Amino acid sequence: MWDYPDKLVGYARVSTQDQNLDLQRDALTKAGCERIFEEKKSGKAGTKRPEFEAALAYLRPTDVLVVWKLDRLGRSLVEMMRTIDGLRVKEIHFRSLTEQFDSATAHGRFALQMHGAVVS
């Protein structure tokens, strides 16, 4: 699907202990993620997510943070867009498999900007 020499790092999250991470884990593995950080925590704005923080600390410039779906970054769109922009500043790419957003491509950057503008 995508051809990157950079390290792909996955982040999977479900909101409750009763939910299963298998679908996300399988998709991230199939996408080529070398490491996957997993969490069973609410994505509600302001909720502490230690595995997400660990994933962000693990990433280096030119790495790619991959999620199964954009909403895995959190419940607040403002928070999601800030996270993506923070990654951009650190030269870390972002990819959402479901929406096919990829910040390493012009089309992906445009789609992310349009998504942010529509919901702002």
Calpha distance 116→29 (Å, rounded): 27
Task: Mark whether 15 is an active-site residue.
Answer: yes
- Catalytic pick among 15, 42, 76, 120: 15
Count CB atoms within 10 A of the CB of residue 15.
14
Integer Rg of the chain from CA: 13
Under DSSP, the state recorded for 73 is G
Task: Please give the C-alpha separations between residue 103 and each of 40, 59, 80, 99, in angstroms, as whole numbers.
Answer: 26, 15, 14, 12
Residues 6+ apart with CB under 8 A from 1: 31
Catalytic residues: 15
